[in-house]
Structure 1
Amino acid sequence: MEMALVTGVSKGLGFQISKILTEQNIEVIGLSRSTNEKVQSLITNSKGRYSHISADLTHLDDIESLMKRVCERIADAKPHKLYVVNNASMVEPIERVGFLDHHAIQKAVQLNLLAPMLINNTLLKELRNEAVEVIIVNVTSGAAERPIHGWSVYNATKAAVNMHTEVAGLEQENTNGSNKIVAFSPGIMDTEMQGTIRSAEEDAFADINTFLGFKTNGKLRQPSDVAKALVGLILNEQLQNGKIYHVDELI
């Protein structure tokens, strides 16, 4: 038996990953702040393979207790493999340093960086003595590798996610165990996040016309196509601990 834990599942890439995994007969636990008709339909149509937990991952004090409960459920189910996809993130705030709201900075750092770090740490701690191979994928971004005007918070958090992945992957490799920790860069997709980017003020985001062009020129991939690439990677490929995988290498 195989299980999966996916965050940010109410829309976009997270929803599509969850849907494809259930179609592969993998039991999926989805985490997001809320549900919607798509999530409810997936719950109904998955024949018990999908369940949802409402959780706000910006509330850091709740993550450890939440993940301990999830780990108890996983341990009771006794899967031989667990896939974890840390997908939840936000691109906001889009603004120049010196104009940023401190609360917005804190919220983004909590969701984009601290939440996956706490999730990964708790999972590996609580499942250490269980006979389960843990495959962790941290969803990152090309923004981790190049500076973008107005994206100091998003760039910084995704760059930190990459380094967390590389260090944690190195540690797992040095244990000679079966666990894997990698990152996945999904490229530009036709999601609500892109809509948020296109609605930014030009003073705050100097590259806005480039991103407007991605939409008008049909350069945005569908989340379903990117999700297929990610699921194919984790199900079918021999993963290299600590590696940052890019969607362009897989599609």
Structure 2
Amino acid sequence: MELAIVTGGSRGLGYETSRILLERGIRVIGISRSINATIDALIKGSNGHYVHVAANLADASDVSSAMQQVCARISSEKPEKVYVVNNAGTVEPIERLGYLDAPAIQQAIQLNMLAPMLINNRILQQLDGEKTELVIVNVTSGAAERAIHGWGVYCTTKAAIDMHTKTAGLEQEQAGLPHKVIAFSPGIMDTEMQETIRSTAAEAFADHSTFVGFKENGKLRPPATVAGTLVNLILNEPLVNGKVYDVNDFISL
């Protein structure tokens, strides 16, 4: 039996990744703040193979509680392979340094950077000494590699996730362990995150018109297309530890 843990699974890339994994016969634990209509349908149609864990990953205590539940399930079910897809994240706050709200900075850092690190650390602790193989996917962004006006918090947290991935991958290789830690950059998708970007005040974000154009010109990929690419990557490709994979290397718009 194989098991996947997907954060931010209630919509967009997280939901589509969960749905496709279920179709491939992999059980899924979805972690998100609440159950919506799409998740409810997924639960009811999964024959018990989809389990939802309610948690606000912007709260460190919620991360700890969620991982206790996840690790208890791993301990009882003893899967041969575990996939972790750290998808939950936020592009907010979008604003220039000097105009940012301090609590919003802290929340974004907790959700985008600390939560994945805490989750990965706890999973590796759980599997220490076990025969279970682990594949960790940290969802990153092209914003990790270039500065974007008004996106200082997002760029910084995603750059940190890339380095976390590279370091963790190096550690697994040097330890001679079968585990893989990679990052996946999904590109621009037609999601609520893009709606948030387009609704941002132009003065806070110099590239505002460019992102409006992505939507108007049909440049946003469907999340299902990107999720299919991600699932195919982790199930069928020989993964390189610490590598940052880009969706654009696999599909064109």
TM-score past 0.5 threshold: yes
Which residue matches 1:31?
31
Alignment of 1:112-123 (within 5 A): 112-123=112-123
Deviation at 1:76, TM superposition (A): 1.0
Q: Which residue of 2 aligns with 1:53?
A: 53
Secondary structure class of the residue paired with 1:239:
coil
More moved, 160-169 vs 55-64:
55-64
Structure 1 segment 163-202 matched on structure 2, within 5 A: 163-202=163-202
Alpha-carbon deviations, 1:186-237, whole Å to 9, x = none? 0000000000000001110000000000000000000000000000000000
- 1:123-153: CA deviation from partner (whole Å, max 9, x where unpaired): 1012212221010000000000000000000
**How many Å apart are 1:66 and its aligned residue?**
2.5
User: Between Structure 1 and Structure 2, how many residues are aligned?
Assistant: 251
Secondary structure of the corresponding residue to residue 52 of structure 1: strand
| DSSP-derived class of the 2:137 partner | strand
The question of whether the paired residues in 2 share the 8 Å contact of 1:78 and 1:131 is answered with: no
Q: Distance in 2 between matches of 1:62 and 1:216?
A: 38
Partner of 1:84: 84
User: d(CA) in 2 for partners of 1:62 and 1:3?
Assistant: 21
Runs of 4+ in 1 over 6 A off after TM superposition: none
The 1-side partners of 2:102 and 2:149 are apart by 18
Q: Distance in 1 between matches of 2:78 and 2:110?
A: 31
**Aligned AA for 2:169?**
G
Partner deviation per Cα, 1:8-27 (whole Å, 9 max, x = no partner)? 01100000000000001100
| 3-state SS of paired residue (2:204) | coil
Structure 2 alignment gaps of length 5 or more = none
Q: Tell me how far apart the structure 2 counterparts of residues 39 and 65 of structure 1 sit (CA, whole Å).
A: 21
Aligned to 1:109: 109
Amino acid at match of 1:234: I
Q: State the 1:64 CA deviation.
A: 2.4
Mapping of residues 1-251 of structure 1, within 5 Å? 1-251=1-251
Identity %: 61
Structure 1 gap ranges (5+): none
